[in-house]
């Protein structure tokens, strides 16, 4: 190869390098220009708040069901049954003037259940409780009309002799009763608050008293603030006690 040919080839290589360098510079300029046209990058948004998994709702307290069985007294009537605590305080009126078909009829007894709550629907603490009640025969209630005032012998309670229950060894022979009242009227109840039988449907009562008339009847005077009305209650001696015994509430 002559000196002239070598010179021409070297010149061609140099020219090619210039073209390559120019292409690279042009590309870099285009990239920088494009970058300059982009809007400023916004501050990255904070990561989204993780979705909170709802906490499981507290499981309902275990249902505490107590099975109660008793032999029904051998007499026609309605049944009132109460639950009493270890201090013999009435904590729940389980049945009020209930008929036999309000209970489950087993082979040799009537059966009912208690959920371990008081009359306000609150759970009672574990411990020893007792269920007992009365069967009350049909009471005859006569409206004796309005009177000026009850006699001085009238009281807030009286004693009633019970019919002996031959099926259980219950030694109660007498029960002290009073007259309770609420927005629905007046009713015969035990002194510890167990309702036994409805007397009347009077409303707005403010005071009620009772007085015995022999062993089989009693008079009731109820005051609504404007008048006093007298009722004669017969067959009051037709009551029989029964007892379901003691049991443990877990």
Question: What tens digit of pLDDT does each residue of 26-85 get?
Answer: 333 333 333 333 334 444 444 444 344 444 443 444 578 999 999 889 999 999 999 999
The Cβ of residue 41 has, within 10 Å, a number of other Cβ atoms equal to 6
pTM of the model: 0.73
Instruction: List, for residues 198-211, the tens digit of each pLDDT value.
Output: 999 878 999 999 99
Domain range 66-249, CATH architecture: Sandwich (2.60)
Instruction: List, for residues 84-136, the tens digit of each pLDDT value.
Output: 999 999 999 999 999 999 999 998 899 999 999 999 999 999 999 999 999 99
* Alpha helix ranges (H) inside 73-115: none
Distance CA 160, CA 9 (A): 140
Q: Which of 199, 194, 207 is closest to 232 using CA atoms?
A: 199
C-beta separation of 141 from 233 below 8 A: yes
Question: Which residue bears the tokens 């070598």?
Answer: 6
Instruction: List, for residues 190-237, the tens digit of each pLDDT value.
Output: 999 999 999 998 789 999 999 998 999 999 999 999 999 999 999 999
Q: Can you give the pLDDT at residue 19? A: 40
Distance CA 177, CA 162 (A): 11
């Amino acid at each position: 190869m002559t000196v002239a040919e070598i010179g021409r080839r070297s010149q061609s290589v140099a020219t090619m390098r210039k073209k390559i360098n120019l292409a690279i510079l042009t590309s870099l300029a285009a990239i920088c220009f494009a970058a300059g046209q982009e809007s400023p990058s916004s501050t990255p948004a904070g990561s989204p708040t993780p979705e909170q998994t709802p906490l499981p709702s507290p499981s309902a307290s275990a249902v505490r069901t107590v099975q109660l069985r008793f032999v029904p007294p051998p007499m026609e009537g309605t049944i009132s049954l109460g639950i009493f605590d270890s201090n013999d305080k009435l904590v729940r009126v389980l049945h009020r003037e209930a008929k036999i078909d309000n209970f489950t009829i087993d082979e040799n007894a009537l059966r009912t259940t208690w959920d371990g709550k008081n009359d306000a629907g609150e759970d009672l603490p574990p411990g020893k409780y007792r269920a007992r009640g009365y069967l009350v025969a049909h009471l005859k209630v006569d409206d004796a009309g309005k009177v000026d005032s009850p006699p001085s012998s009238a009281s807030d309670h009286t004693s009633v002799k019970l019919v002996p229950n031959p099926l259980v060894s219950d030694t109660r022979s007498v029960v002290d009763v009073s007259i309770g009242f609420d927005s629905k009227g007046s009713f015969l109840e035990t002194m510890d608050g167990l309702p036994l039988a409805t007397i009347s449907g009077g409303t707005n009562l403010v005071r009620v008293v009772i007085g015995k008339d022999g062993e089989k009847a009693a008079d009731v005077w109820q005051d609504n603030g404007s008048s006093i009305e007298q009722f004669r209650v017969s067959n009051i001696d037709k009551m029989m006690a029964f007892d379901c015994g003691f049991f443990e509430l877990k």
